[in-house]
Amino acid sequence: MKLCRIRTDDGIKPAAVDSAGAFRDLSAIVLDIDSAQITPEAITALGSVDLATCPVIFGRLAPFLRDVGRIFCIGLNYYDHAAEMGLDVPEHPILFMKACAASGATDPIILPKGSTKTDWEVELGVIIGTTAKHVSEETALDHVAGYCVANDVSERSFQMDFGGQWVKGKSADSFAPLGPYLATRDEIADTLNLALSLKVNGATMQNGSTKTMVFSVPQIVAHISRFLTLHPGDIILTGTPPGVGGGMKPQKFLKAGDVVEAEIEGLGVIRQDVSAD
């Protein structure tokens, strides 16, 4: 099932995507798509709905969860991305956070004031559906509600030139576009066999596969849960393949007027126009 939220003239409405790609209004069934609606029991209940009986609605995609929680990120999690950056593959997952609100699948990327090196990173997003604390790799996926496309937008100068942790370069307003929907876990057979790509102004910058991930989704969920409790609505961005602007020679970064499209096999496309603050 593919769950989303649609901005309409009558406000944001909960929706699901039918087999033809149309948005079906779930307002008569649930008040909203939030963390209470992505438990296994809730997803099973929504999965029993005959979408053909729900009206088609039109509008723009809002963030697919009303109450997105914390956004955790894994750094250098692709062998080929670590190589392009000239960095060693980590022994353990590198964990950091994006301290900004999630934005929708077509909301703009806004370059922060003083930005000179705003970069792109297509990533597989993992949405937590049930509380995970000290879980094993074998049971980690039981706590995952589903997956999405994410762009871990990063201001490299803020990230690398001002000391401290990476969070400074990762957390500007609009730096967490997610979507276009939450695809429930049963929609994706193998998270280690997905094609990822990203285009800027129609030109392909990233073209990779989750096959080159260093740490798998179960390994990542289990690892994080060892150090902190994951809650429903938390989202984990699992790293990016090669092709980021900071790894190019010469380097390339986003500018106002650019259009960024990130796509993952089976999970759709998110599209952002870039503007200046």
Domain ranges for the chain: 2-62, 71-276
pLDDT at 103: 96
Collapsing DSSP to helix, strand or coil, 157 comes out as helix
DSSP 116: S
Rounded average pLDDT per 10-residue block, the chain, 277 residues: 96 97 97 97 96 97 97 94 88 96 97 96 98 98 98 95 90 97 97 97 98 98 98 98 94 98 98 96
CB crowding 55-81: b at 16 or more within 10 Å, else e: eebebebbbbbbebbebbbbbbbbeeb
CA dihedral 4, 5, 6, 10 (to 10 degrees): 150
pTM summary value: 0.97
- Measured from the Cβ of residue 47, the count of other Cβ atoms closer than 10 Å reads 12
Backbone φ, ψ for residue 211 (5° rounding): -60, -25
Which segments of the chain are extended strands (E)?
2-8, 11-17, 23-25, 56-57, 60-62, 71-75, 94-98, 109-111, 118-119, 122-128, 144-151, 154-155, 178-184, 195-200, 203-209, 235-237, 259-264, 268-276
Q: Alpha carbon of 234 to those of 63, 65, 221, 227: distances in Å?
A: 13, 10, 11, 15
Transcribe 81-116 into DSSP letters. Answer: HHHHTT-PPPSS-EEEEE-S--B-TTPPEEEPTT-S
Q: How many CA atoms lie within 13 A of 96 on its CB side?
A: 19
For residues 175, 100, 182, 27, the Cα torsion angle rounded to the nearest 10 degrees is -120
Q: What is the pLDDT at residue 165?
A: 84
What are the phi and psi torsion angles at 102 (to 5°)?
-70, 145
CA 49 to mean position of chain CA atoms: 26
Q: What is the pLDDT of residue 246?
A: 93
Res 84: pLDDT: 86
Q: CATH number of the domain at 71-276, out of 3.90.190.20, 1.10.287.3510, 3.90.1150.10, 3.90.850.10? A: 3.90.850.10
Question: Which residue in this structure is represented by tokens 């960095």?
Answer: 87
